[in-house]
Amino acid sequence: MSKLWSGRFSKETAKLTDEINYSINTDKRMYAEDIAGSIAHAKMLGATGILDEHQAYEIQFALMNLPTDYEGLELPPEAEDIHMAVEALLTRCIGENGKRLHTARSRNDQVALDFRMYIKGQIDALTELIKELLAVLSTKAREHLNSVMPAYTHLQRAQPSTYAHYLMAYANGFLRDISRLADCKARMNECPLGAGALCGTTYPIDREMTARELRFDKPTDNSLDSVSDRDFALEFLSGLAILQTRLSRFAEEVCLWCSWEFKFLELDDAFATGSSMMPQKKNPDVAELVRGKTGRVFGDLTTLLTVLKGLPLAYNKDMQEDKEAVFDALDTVTLCLRAFTAMLATSTFSCENALNAAGKGFINATDLADYLVNKGTAFRDAHETAGRIVAHCAELGKTLEELTLEEYKTFGDFDDSVYDTISLAACVARRNVIGGPAPNEVLRQIELIEKALGE
Ligand code: ARG
């Protein structure tokens, strides 16, 4: 099959050359972007008089009338990538005039443009998915403002928190993920079209016009940079890797909470799986796969960093590998976000088990020390005394609540009010500083998330 660039060649390419060179199966995803970019380019060619207005109009009209979806569309077999495919489809429709579209343009600026437009659109779609997860988190948090659970450091029970406080911790992270993707989108909002193959063009093109038509802030400032820059793809992959890391940590938490050792969370049967051998099993496969797929996303980021690290300016064919990495990470994160959100939305938090767990492990020991501080003891000394009380209780197999006042008195200046101070509900309620788990404070945090969701 003869190539669009065959003029210089006296032989057909080998099958293996085609096999390694063709990217159409990957980059056909940018079909809509390629058409939109081509329409803007043709319009500009007409407006600047580079093409006769009639010719430019015929091209635009034909492009607009191409099928909107590439699925089910028979792509021309000679097309090695989506750019050549769209041009071939156009020429099939209007004949000779279709060959004028590529005036003052190269596939190098074309792919840089299409890829940016595609990622911009995907950032919007991902943002919506993260917002759906945030909505689930805030709804659940509202239901669990008073659901006490132990919070951990080193996976050791540490201090009293609530399920709502916990969920809002993740919500704050996901909100940063949205803002990180928005930053990435803002920075990539410069239009590379018009950079040509690498050194611009001698035609009097209007780059301001195409940038405007395609809703970019401005044209890029250096043509060599325009066709060799993939920072936007790296930033996008980094944003995805950070987002996926968060999902993975949350997924790990879900796996722990579903274990018999915790039993804080019960998954809906529709979001769990069984064992072919052990009849009793109910496994958190969705969460495990979210955790497990994280490696792919990191791999995709590493792939693109590695592809780019040795490349001289400007375009090199190595860069064609960029899209497989980005699309794979995008598909993985998208699936994980959707599955995780649905799994969490249908799960049930066991308030009773979490409260029972909070009752053991001396998570109110800090409050016991603070009790002594309030009576005038220095914190270091109070910490020491509370530590000795904990050791005493651990030896007797008692909780701090179960220790008698007589026993307390042997350690220092205690009265009856110690029991109120160390009750878990009181411990949570007193932590009403900004960021703390007190119900009214967490409500404020929820309202902030909900406000951000409205924006
Ligand atoms: N399919 C190519 C890519 O994705 C398009 C650019 C090709 N440019 C070239 N000079 N061969 O990178």
The CATH code belonging to domain 13-103 is: 1.10.275.10
Distances (CA, A) of 411 to 145, 359, 368, 393: 35, 22, 12, 12
Where are the CATH 1.10.275.10 domain residues in the chain?
A: 13-103
Mutate to test the pocket of ligand 1, among 6, 108, 229 (most ligand atoms within 8 A of CB): 108
Phi-psi map region of 404: left, alpha, beta (phi>0 left; psi -120 to 50 alpha): beta
What is the CB < 6 Å shell around ligand 1? 23, 27, 81, 107-108, 111, 315, 317, 319-320
Q: Quick check: is 154 catalytic?
A: yes
Domain 116-154+161-205+215-356 of CATH type 1.20.200.10: yes
Going from the Cα of 321 to the center of ligand 1, the distance in angstroms, rounded, reads: 10
d(CA 357, CA 251): 20
d(CA 241, CA 288): 17
d(CA 50, CA 56): 9
Going from the Cα of 239 to the center of ligand 1, the distance in angstroms, rounded, reads: 25
Going from the Cα of 124 to the center of ligand 1, the distance in angstroms, rounded, reads: 26
Domain 361-454: CATH class, spelled out: mainly alpha
Where are the CATH 1.10.40.30 domain residues in the chain?
A: 361-454
Going from the Cα of 320 to the center of ligand 1, the distance in angstroms, rounded, reads: 6
Q: Which atom of ligand 1 is nearest to the CA of 323?
A: 4
Mutate to test the pocket of ligand 1, among 230, 311, 320 (most ligand atoms within 8 A of CB): 320
Report the Cα–Cα distance between both ends of the chain, in Å, rounded.
Answer: 52
| Whether the bond into 314 is cis, omega within 30 of 0 | yes
**Helices 53-64 and 82-94, packing angle to 10 deg:** 110
Tens of pLDDT, residue by residue over 427-438, are: 999 999 999 999
Tens of pLDDT, residue by residue over 23-40, are: 999 999 999 999 999 999
- One digit per residue, the tens of pLDDT, for the chain of length 455 reads 577 778 888 888 899 999 999 999 999 999 999 999 999 999 999 999 999 999 999 999 999 999 999 888 888 888 999 999 999 999 999 999 999 999 999 999 999 999 999 999 999 999 999 999 999 999 999 999 999 999 999 999 999 999 999 999 999 999 999 999 999 999 999 999 999 999 999 999 999 999 999 999 999 999 999 999 999 999 999 999 999 999 999 999 999 999 999 999 999 999 999 888 888 889 999 999 999 999 999 999 999 999 999 999 999 999 999 999 999 999 999 999 999 999 999 999 999 999 999 999 999 999 999 999 999 999 999 999 999 999 999 999 999 999 999 999 999 999 999 999 999 999 999 999 999 999 999 999 999 999 999 98
Please check whether residue 31 is in contact with residue 74, taking contact to mean a CB–CB distance below 8 angstroms.
no
Please check whether residue 203 is in contact with residue 104, taking contact to mean a CB–CB distance below 8 angstroms.
yes
Please check whether residue 227 is in contact with residue 109, taking contact to mean a CB–CB distance below 8 angstroms.
yes
Mutate to test the pocket of ligand 1, among 111, 119, 324 (most ligand atoms within 8 A of CB): 111
**Helices 107-143 and 322-345, packing angle to 10 deg:** 10
Q: Kindly report the protein residue whose alpha carbon is nearest to atom 2 of ligand 1.
A: 320
